[in-house]
Amino acid sequence: MPEPLQQFVQGRVVELGLDQPDQYFEQLLKEEQRRQLEEYYMEECRKGLESGPSIPIMPGFWEDLANEIEREVYERKRKVAQ
């Protein structure tokens, strides 16, 4: 690593109260990973919002959905068994 970068890293290590430069790099990598995950989730939320009109979630919605999925799985298994 070029000397100016080494000095910069060492300065950051001291400023942040770290013991070793590798701790600084680990911190940077964790921050980058968090940033990428945040971007991914925001993009997925955007896709969901743009996927069509919203539907109301009323009491019993999740139970009805689970029952519908169970029926679909049952029907598919039945067709495969024939």
**pLDDT tens across 11-46, in order?**
999 999 999 999 999 999 999 999 999 999 999 999
Q: Domain segments of the chain: what residues? A: 3-81
Would you say residue 79 has pLDDT above 90?
A: no
pTM of the model: 0.57
CB atoms near residue 21 (< 10 Å): 14
Contact 20, 13 (CB under 8 A): yes
48-68 burial: b if 16+ Cβ within 10 Å, else e: eeeeeeeeeeeeeeeeeeeee
For the chain, count helices (H), then strands (E). Answer: 3, 0
Q: Show the tokens assigned to 14.
A: 């001291």
| pLDDT of res. 20 | 95
Contact 13, 21 (CB under 8 A): yes
